[in-house]
Chains A and B, each alone.
Chain A
C-alpha cells in the first residue's frame, strides 16, 4: 500500500518536473523559499464569468490540463453570471462563507476588492510570474496602492467597428478618425444608403472614449478633485450628445445593448463603438456573413487628437481568505501562462494579456489582429475603490442628458455632487 503511493507520487513528480520547466524561468532559481509546485495539494474553487456556452468550454479544457499537470490539486469549476458575480463575491467574501479561491473579475473592480481586503496581494507569489511579458495596459489594471492584486487574463478595449460594404456604398474610403468626421460620415451614409450611422450605448463605460479624448476623467486622485464636470468633460459629453442627436438610432433605454447589437449585425447601422467581446455575436448576423465585411479602427479622437479608449478585460484574483493559497497561486499562474492565453485567444477570440501570446496563429483571428493596435493606446480607468459606485450616478445623469431632460453642464454638475458623497475627501466644484 505505502509503496504503491510513493511510486505513483514519484512518477507524478518526474512527469511534473519535466513539464514545469518550460513555464516560469524567474522564480525557479529562488530555491528554499518556493515550495515544490508538484507537492502542492488542495482544492481550488474557481468562479469563471466567461460566457457559459461559447467561452467556458475552453476554460474547462484548460482546467483539465491543469489537473493533469498537478494531480494533487483539484479544481472545482463554477460558472457564475457576470452580472451577478460582483454582489455574490462581495457577500461571500465579507462573510467568509462560500467564497471561491480564485475569481475571474472585471478589471474595474480590482481597486474596490483590494481596498476591502477581499483579494490577496500577489507580488512575489507563484501567481504573478514573468511580469515583464504582460502588456502594460492590462498589467496596470491590477495595481492598487503600489501592489498587484490580480493577474491579467484577457484584455479588451473599445474600438470602432464598421460595416465596410456600407462605407463603400457611401463612397467613404477610411473610417472616421475624429468625432466630427463620424458625424459627417453618418450623414453621407444616411444620404447614400438610408442606413443610420451608429447606435449610441448609454452605458457610462462607453462614454469614456469621449471623456478621455478631451483629456477628461471622472476624478483626479492626486489633486483630490472630482473632475467629471470640468470644462473638458462638458465638451466631451456635448460631443456625445451631438452624435446621438445627429447620427444615432434612438436608444431604447431598457434594451440598449441588445438593440445596439441587433441593429449593427443586421446592417441597420453602419458603425459602433464596441469591444472585441462583441465580435463573435456580430459575425452571427446577416450583415457579416462575410467576415471580411467587418472593419476595425481605433475610436475617433477628441480634440486632444489622440484616440483613447479604456482598458477593460478580466483579471484573475485570489481570495485573501483562501485555505489553499499555494494551489490558488499555481492555478492562477497556469491559467494566465502564455500557452493558456494563446489557447484561449485561438478558441474564444479574446485578446491575450501577454505579448508572447500574440503568436502567428493567434493573430490569424481578424478581431485580435484588428484590436491589437487599438490596445496600444488604451488607458486604465482611474484606480479608485469607488470607481464602480461612480459609474451609477454618471450613467443616470448621462441618460438624462441624452434624453434632453438635463443640460450637459447641469447633468454633470449633479453627477459631480453625487461623486462628492462617494468620495468624501474630494473637492467638488
Chain B
C-alpha cells in the first residue's frame, strides 16, 4: 500500500514527455534504472536463470537444427586431441527432410502421436469427470476414496509403469493368472504393436486420471449450489442439470486441464519408454521417444534430434494458440 502511494506521489513530478523534446534512449534507460533499479535487481535472477536454462538451450537447439551436427563432427577437445568442428550449415534441409516425409519416420510417428494424445486426453478427461461427479456428493469414506484415487499420482511414474509391466507379463503376469482362473487362455498383452499401443494408453490413463479428477473436483465445487437448486425447481432432469449447469460451469477448468494434459501427453516420454523397453518394433514410438533415440542411441545425431525437438515445439505452440483463441471466441 505505502509503495503504491509513494509511487503515485512521485508521478506528478515527472517531466511531461509530450511537451519537451524527448530525452534520448540512453537517458530514459538511465532514468528508468535510477528509479526502478531495485525492481530490476529483484527480477534479474529470474531473467538470468530463464536465460541460462531456457533461452540459451532453446536458441542453441534452433541453431543446431540448421546444421548437420552429429557427435562425430562437432568440435572435440579431449586431452591431447583437438578436432575442430567440421559440421556446417545446411539451412532448412533437416526441416525439409522431416516435413516432406523423406526421412520416412516423421508422419507415421506424428500420426500415432496424435492418436495417442487424443485417446489419452479424451479417456482421461471422461473418467476424471465421472469420478469427480461421483465424489462430489456427500458420501461415507469420501476422504478415503479421494486418497485412494490420488495414489497413482503420488507413485513415481517409473514405479507405476514397472508394476504395470509386471502385470502385463504374458508368461508370469497377474492378468493372465486371473483370466486363467476363469478358464480363458493366456493373452499376450504386449505382443503386437496394436496391443502395445492399447497398453501404453491404459497405463497413461491410469497415471493421468488423478490429476483430472482433482482439477475437475475443484471446478465442481466452485459451481454455486443455487444453480442446481434453480434448475431442479424448473424441473430439469439430472442429465439436463449435468449438461446445462455442470458442463458450462466447468468450462474454465476444462479448457485449462485439456490444454495442459494435451501438452503433457504429447511429450509423455517415460510411460512409453519404460513400459516397452527396447524390445519393440518402434511402432509405439511417439515423436519425443523417437527424437530421444536420435539423440542418445549410438552416434548422437544432434541436428536431427534438435530439428525434431523444434518441430514438436512448433506443433505444440500452434496447437495452444489455436486452442486458446477457440476457447476465447467460445466464451465471449
Show the binding face of A for B, using Cβ within 8 Å. 87, 90, 93-94, 96, 112, 115-118, 120, 202-203, 249-257, 259, 262-263, 319-322, 325, 385-386, 388-393, 395-397, 399-400, 403, 405, 417, 422
Contact = CB atoms under 8 A, between A and B. Distances in A.
Given A389-B297, A392-B297, A405-B193, A253 B81 contact: no
B291 interface: no
A112 B300 CA distance: 11
B298 A254 contact: no
Contacts of B209: none
Contacts of A393: 282
A253 B76 contact: no
Contacts of B190: 252-255
B78 interface: yes
Contacts of A388: 297-299
A130 to B, nearest CB: 25
Nearest to A259: B171
A396 B290 CA distance: 13
A213 B293 CA distance: 30
Interface stretch (B26-34, B271-279, B310-318, B323-331): B271-279
Contact of A320 (B78, B171, B172): B78
Given A385-B299, A399-B281, A422-B298, A117 B83 contact: yes
Given A116-B71, A385-B299, A386-B299, A96 B191 contact: no
A386 B297 CA distance: 10
Central interface residue in B171, B191, B192, B293, by most chain A CB within 10 Å: B171
B293 A392 contact: yes
Contact of B78 (A96, A395, A400, A403): A96
B191 A403 contact: yes
A93 B169 contact: no
5 contacts: A250-B170, A263-B171, A319-B79, A392-B297, A399-B281
Given A253-B279, A259-B171, A395-B278, A322 B298 contact: no
Interface string B76-112: 1111110100000000000000000000100000000
A422 B293 CA distance: 13
Interface in B256-297: 275-282, 293, 296-297
A117 B81 CA distance: 7
Contacts of A417: 104
A386 B78 contact: no
A386 B298 CA distance: 6
A396 B81 contact: no
Contacts of A203: 279
Nearest to A397: B281
Nearest to A201: B279
B87 to A, nearest CB: 14
A168 B299 CA distance: 48
Interface in B171-205: 171-172, 188, 190-193, 196
A263 B79 CA distance: 48
A120 B299 CA distance: 18
B72 A115 contact: yes
Contact of B72 (A120, A251, A325, A385): A385
A87 B279 CA distance: 18
Given A252-B169, A389-B299, A320 B81 contact: yes
B283 to A, nearest CB: 8
Contacts of A386: 298-299
A196 to B, nearest CB: 11
B168 A254 contact: yes
Nearest to B276: A254
A393 B103 CA distance: 14
Given A117-B76, A252-B190, A254-B276, A390 B298 contact: yes
A385 B170 CA distance: 36
Contact of A117 (B78, B298, B300): B78
Contacts of B188: 250, 252
A393 B297 CA distance: 11
A118 B76 CA distance: 9
Contacts of A392: 278, 293, 297-298
A118 B78 contact: yes
Instruction: Give 10 closest A-B pairs by Cβ, nearest first.
Output: A389-B298, A321-B79, A321-B78, A396-B282, A252-B170, A388-B298, A320-B79, A254-B190, A320-B78, A117-B81
Contacts of A118: 78
A250 B298 contact: no
Contacts of B193: 403, 405
B281 A250 contact: no
A120 B171 contact: no
Contacts of A252: 169-171, 188, 190-191
